[in-house]
Structure 1
Amino acid sequence: MAIARRGDLIEIETPNGIGYGLFTHKHSKYGELLRVFNVLVDERPRSPVEILDTAVRFNCFFPVSIAIRRKSVSVAFHCNVPEGLSVFPLFRTGVPSPLTKRIERWSLWDGEKSWQIGVPNKDEAKISPLAGWNHALLVHRISNGWRPEMWI
């Protein structure tokens, strides 16, 4: 039975190339945290550094171990989690208004506690939304260049 290990660099096949995400944390409520890099390549690089040196485009909770077992993703490399990615990231969350169906009061969440921020500023809009994603959504968002600021 395949179980993802912290530091697994996951390879995700998309229609537009191969994307990569690093499994960095396991949260007791939300599961495995994947840091998805801003890179699409045609073939696996020779070294994980070629991926780890790029920026993280977004963070999401994704069932990495299940995806490995189902062979919908694969472990390209196992590496030490870079210092900058070892800290649990902030997430953005909110409840849609029943009238407008839009989130009007946002909150930030650090993995333990949350606090309201109202309407996100330019920097807060770049914080990933708090959500669990399935394989189809992950592939779609990687291949189409999705960024957290597109979800406001």
Structure 2
Amino acid sequence: MAKLGDVFRIKTKFGFAYFQFTKRDKLMGSLIRVFPNRFNLQEDEIKDLINSQTNFWIFFPVSAAEKQGIIEKILHAPIPDHSSTFPLFRNGIANSATGKVTNWWFWDGEKEWKVGVISNEQRKLPILAAWNDTLLIKRIEDGWLPEKDPR
């Protein structure tokens, strides 16, 4: 079973990408921090990557993916201080006509509140969602970041 701090790799068309399992949430499941896109690293390089900033946060079924062989645990490392607290997420429903969210909500892992329109800086906040392996791989390959999300 996956433990907080475990670092995994997942196969992409560019090679292996890396992420760290950081939290368990009763509602959303396993929270991961995806590292900046650097592929096929040696163990020493991965240890350096762990201390880097997070590319994006997303909920992902870590234990199920590991059992199915979709991801592979490569090491265990302490979660850096800058990534040890639960991130603030943004959430909203896109208008079916425009594809845009006009009323955003924030969630801190305990409570949710409406904020309406968000600033460019707030667009960098992670989007509250749970992804499967197919979407995680696609987003890594595309260089996706929350602030690039068209909603």
TM-score by length of 2: 0.92
Query: How far 1:101 sits from its partner (Å)?
Result: 4.2
Residue aligning to 2:4: 6
The SS at the match of 2:58 is: strand
Count of residue correspondences: 150
Which of 79, 84, 87 is the aligned partner of 1:86?
A: 84
More strand by share: 1
| Cα distance in structure 2, aligned partners of 1:56 and 1:149 | 13
Is residue 72 from structure 1 mapped to residue 70 from structure 2 by the alignment? yes
Distance 1:129 1:71 in 2: 26
Shifted more, 5-14 versus 115-124: the winner is 115-124
1:14-57, Cα deviation, whole Å (9 max, x unpaired): 10122111101000010000010113222333354221132211
Query: Does the Cα contact within 8 Å between 1:39 and 1:54 map onto a contact in 2?
Result: no
The equivalent of 2:22 in structure 1 is: 24
Give the distance between the partners of 1:102 and 1:18, measured in 2 at CA. 33
Task: Identify which of 98, 107, 122 aligns with 2:105.
Answer: 107
Contact (CA 8 Å) 1:106, 1:119: kept in 2 or not?
Answer: yes
User: Which residue is equivalent to 1:147?
Assistant: 145
Note the C-alpha offset of 1:80. 1.1
User: Which amino acid is the alignment partner of residue 23 of structure 1?
Assistant: F
User: Which one-letter code corresponds to 2:38 in the other structure?
Assistant: L
**Structure 1 unaligned spans of 5+:** none
CA separation of 1:100 and 1:144: change in aligned 2, threshold 3 A: closer
Q: 2:17, 2:40 within 8 Å by CA — same for their partners in 1?
A: no
Q: Is the 8 A contact 1:16 1:40 kept in 2?
A: no
Flag as ranges the 4+ runs of structure 1 deviating above 6 A: none
SS of residue paired to 1:133: coil
Root-mean-square deviation (Å): 1.5
Cα 1:125–1:8 shift into 2, 3 Å: same
Query: Scaled by the length of structure 1, what TM-score is found?
Result: 0.91
Aligned to 2:53: 55
Give the percent of matched residue pairs that are identical in Structure 1 and Structure 2: 35
Q: Report the more deviating stretch, 40-49 or 126-135.
A: 40-49
Q: Structure 1 counterpart of 2:128, which letter? A: L
Counterpart amino acid of 2:80?
A: P
> Matched residues in 1 for 2:23 and 2:84: separation?
8
Q: What SS does the aligned partner of 1:115 have?
A: strand
Instruction: Report if the CA contact (8 A) 2:37-2:143 is conserved.
Output: no
One-letter identity of the residue aligned with 2:13: P
